[in-house]
Structure 1
Amino acid sequence: MELHDPYRAPATFPVPPALPRTLPETGVRAQPISEAAAYYSPSSMKLVVLSLTTLGLYVVYWFWRNWQAIQRETGGTQWPWARALFSPLWAYLCFRELRDAASNRRRDLAFAPGLLAVTYFLLNLAARLPNAGWLLALFVFVPLLPVNSLLRRYHQDERVDTGRMDRFGALHILVAVVGGLFLLLLFVAMFLTNGGR
């Protein structure tokens, strides 16, 4: 006769492992989605197009999203919106934090964070240049490209799903079209003004 032990843990049934998900149309196994940190790294084309057509405002959004991810990962007390708004002053710290996050996977940033930050700062200052010199400020996204590329390789290694970041939604397309037309009109007006002299 078996005695009941009240202090013994209850018996549990083993839980079978989850079946692998397959893609319905191909029958191929889907890659597991990682729980690694998801930093904001849209495709290079999306970063370039939206940066140009928003006259650099998308770059501020890029910083805001990445400062949010850094805050999530480090548990810091930084204010992502303030650091994004004043991104020329905080760019070095952002680039360094993102480089350090990716270096865990033995990925290296192509350029030093300090060099990228100085370039970003100078391109922001270029907006104050006279005549057509302010056009240099349109290329404010260039120092972000190596960091963004590093984050994309990090996401690839960690199997983070970046499809949502890469997609152009309806709002993105609207901004690109309206901003592109505005930019085109701006160039035409500058050409006509300088051609009339």
Structure 2
Amino acid sequence: MENPYQAPQAELDTHSESSTPFFTTSTTKLIVLYIATLGLYRLYWFYKHWKALQVHEGLKVAPVWRSIFSIFFTHSLFKYIANSHQEQSLGTWSAHAMMATLYVLMTVGGEIAARIPASDVFGVWDIALLVTSVIPLYTLYEAQTYANRANQDPDGKSNSRFSPWNILFILMGLAIWGVVVLGVLAQYTAILD
């Protein structure tokens, strides 16, 4: 006999948050948000990938910590993406280890270059900062391309629109970029005087 006071039972869907193994987003959105947020978008990017893997694969990981300390977990994330891509007979991503290493080296190099006092003239350290900012974006672009393919959404159309939150962060980023450009112009105007 059924207990009328018992709460209804339902099957729990453990994969409700992510039916795909990886975070899907368009590469255009990735590039715009990465540049607009001066690279801070990568924290969110790593978090979303690890969260999707945690849910899809049942991994016992802490996505927040893997995002904050991404340089220690980039190789394993890129390997997951490469393995999934290959398991689905989509081809191989043979450069995944090199891309992960490049990401780590450029991220660490960028942090070091940012702490070296700048000279009054645009020079080697300024170029190093620029390079160490662009190359990590390229590696994430490559990883996202393969992740989207593994998710059966090669163009990332399911997450290609900019949400209100995305637009807010883009606007804040543009304000910061404006301050940076004004600071550089002020510095060079002072040098020329």
**TM-score class, shorter:** 0.7 to 0.9
Residues 35-78 of structure 1, C-alpha deviations (whole Å, 9 max, x = no match): 95252121111101111111222111111111112222332211
Distance 2:29 2:155 in 1: 16
Distance 1:95 1:40 in 2: 12
TM-score relative to the length of structure 2: 0.73
Q: Name the amino acid aligned to 1:171.
A: W
TM-score relative to the length of structure 1: 0.72
What residue number does 2:178 align with?
184
Question: Equivalent residues in 2 for 1:27-176 (5 A)?
Answer: 37-125=20-108, 126-129=110-113, 130=116, 131=118, 132=126, 133-139=128-134, 140-156=136-152, 162-176=156-170
State the shift of 1:107 in Å: 2.1
Deviating above 6 A after TM superposition, structure 1's stretches of 4 or more consecutive aligned residues are: none
What percentage of aligned pairs have identical amino acids? 22
Structure 1: gaps of 5 or more residues:
1-34
Q: Name the amino acid aligned to 1:62.
A: W
Q: Name the amino acid aligned to 2:169.
A: V
Alpha-carbon spacing, 1:36–1:172, altered in 2? closer, same or farther (3 Å): closer
Distance 1:190 1:118 in 2: 31
Provide the alpha-carbon RMSD of the alignment. Answer: 2.4
Distance 2:160 2:28 in 1: 9
**Counterpart of 1:142 in 2: which secondary structure?**
helix
Q: Name the amino acid aligned to 2:79.
A: R
Distance 2:186 2:173 in 1: 20
Alpha-carbon spacing, 1:182–1:127, altered in 2? closer, same or farther (3 Å): same
User: Which of 160-169 and 134-143 deviates more?
Assistant: 160-169
State the shift of 1:154 in Å: 2.5
Contact 2:106 2:132 in 1 (8 A): yes
Contact 1:127 1:135 in 2 (8 A): no
**Counterpart of 2:24 in 1: which secondary structure?**
coil
**Counterpart of 1:76 in 2: which secondary structure?**
coil
**Counterpart of 2:80 in 1: which secondary structure?**
helix
More helix by share: 2
